[in-house]
Amino acid sequence: DLTDPVLSSEAELAFEGALRPKSLEEFVGQTRVRGQLQLLLTAATMQQRTPDHILLAGPPGLGKTTLAMIVAYEGGRPLRMSSGPAIQHAGDLAAILSSLVPGEVLFIDEVHRMARSAEEMLYLAMEDFRIDIMVGKGAGATSVPLDLAPFTLVGATTRSGLLPNPLRDRFGFTAHLEFYDEAELEQVLVRAATMLGLDVDREALAEIAGRCRGTPRIANRLLRRVRDYALVHGGRADLGAVRAALDLYDVDPLGLDRLDRAVMETILTRFGGGPVGLNTLAVSVGEESETIEAVVEPFLVRIGLITRTPRGRMATPSAWRHFGIPEVGAT
């Protein structure tokens, strides 16, 4: 998670891996998507074929990588993991595709960031399990067809709007992952606390569930910070420890982090509540507009602090209230 340098490290990644559910049954929430995936996988198994290609769309930390792994585990299939930024030439993709074994699940994270030339190769691969490889250069160049083993592509994207239509159309199924509600997040936390052998008060877990931006990854990370806090201060991981630890890490009562608040304060104070365009907003807070659009904005919209209008982003009345600023133009 690039927006969260404090919380990302090797240890955090190992911890994240250890907590990943390994079956659809263990996967908390996303009931609709789970049912849809279950049907797709069962039908494929009954027909003894590879499942259709799957696109998983949604903000970071909601379980896209986890679901890709589950697609492989549930079918007893090998899994290959790659990502859009790692595929900068058609050759990178050709190397991966030509080495897949029959039935393999290929996970491409951030699939919208793949090179154009690779994207075009992927169309044919997804449709016909075949690619054309260019041999030689200039006038003597010829294309040699190469048959691939049948595979299932699982693509993940935080920006499904950025995928070219021909690519989007080649996925048999697209799942839009939603933010989790507090009851689901509590379930995620109870599971994590149990797996880690942490003794945490139930009301402490509920507090974390309400302050993790609807995101399991953040819930699990905050749990670790609370555990650290209780350890260092020699107390229990109780409500007091949660509040103190989350204050220390700048997580506000709504779960907003520093970047969320910077965006809100910019809209409210510099642009009088908006509307303000995405790029202007990104420049004002010194972030990439992609991060604002994929990471920050979906949650702010979800909790009703901003709305998207054709003229830009606007603060809602509850945003003015939450930040304790008198609304511009209000009496």
- Give the footprint of ligand ADP on this chain (CB under 6 A): 16, 19-21, 27-30, 60-66, 156, 188, 216-217, 220
What is the number of the residue whose Cβ is closest to ligand ADP?
A: 63
Residue 221 marked in a binding site: no
Residue 65 known to bind ligand:
yes
CB nearer ligand ADP, residue 16 or residue 74: 16
Residue 224 marked ligand-binding? no
The residue type at 22 = K
Q: Which two tokens stand for residue 75?
A: 């079918």
Closest listed residue to residue 303, CA positions, set 262, 257, 254, 261: 254
CB 226 within 8 A of CB 241: yes
CB closer to ligand ADP, 213 vs 322: 213
170 annotated ligand-binding residue:
yes
**What sign for the dihedral angle of Cα 176, 177, 182, 183?**
positive
- What are the DSSP E strand ranges found in the chain? 54-57, 79-83, 105-109, 130-135, 142-147, 152-157, 173-176, 306-309, 312-315
Long-range Cβ contacts of 244-247 (<8 Å, 24+ apart): 246/207, 246/208, 246/211, 246/222
The least distance separating ligand ADP from the CB of residue 321, rounded to whole angstroms, comes to 31
Question: What b/e readout covers 224-257, taking b as 16+ CB neighbours within 10 angstroms?
Answer: bbbbebbeeeeeebbbbbbbebbeebebeebbbb
Closer by beta carbon to ligand ADP, 4 or else 119: 4
Closest CA to 109 of 147, 150, 62: 62
User: Is residue 73 marked as binding?
Assistant: no
CB of 142 to ligand ADP, least distance (A): 40
Minimum distance of ligand ADP from residue 62's CB (angstroms) = 5
- Provide, rounded to whole angstroms, the least separation between the CB of residue 252 and ligand ADP: 21
Active-site annotation, residues: 64-65, 109, 158, 217
CB of 68 to ligand ADP, least distance (A): 8
Q: Which residues, other chains included, contact 47 with Cβ-Cβ below 8 Å and sequence gap of 6+?
A: none
Q: Which is nearer to ligand ADP, 25 or 147 (CB)?
A: 25
Closer to ligand ADP by CB, 30 or 316: give it. 30
Q: Is 19 annotated as a binding residue?
A: yes
The binding site for ATP consists of 19-20, 61, 64-66, 127-129, 170, 180, 217
Binding-site residues? 19-20, 61, 64-66, 127-129, 170, 180, 217, 308, 313
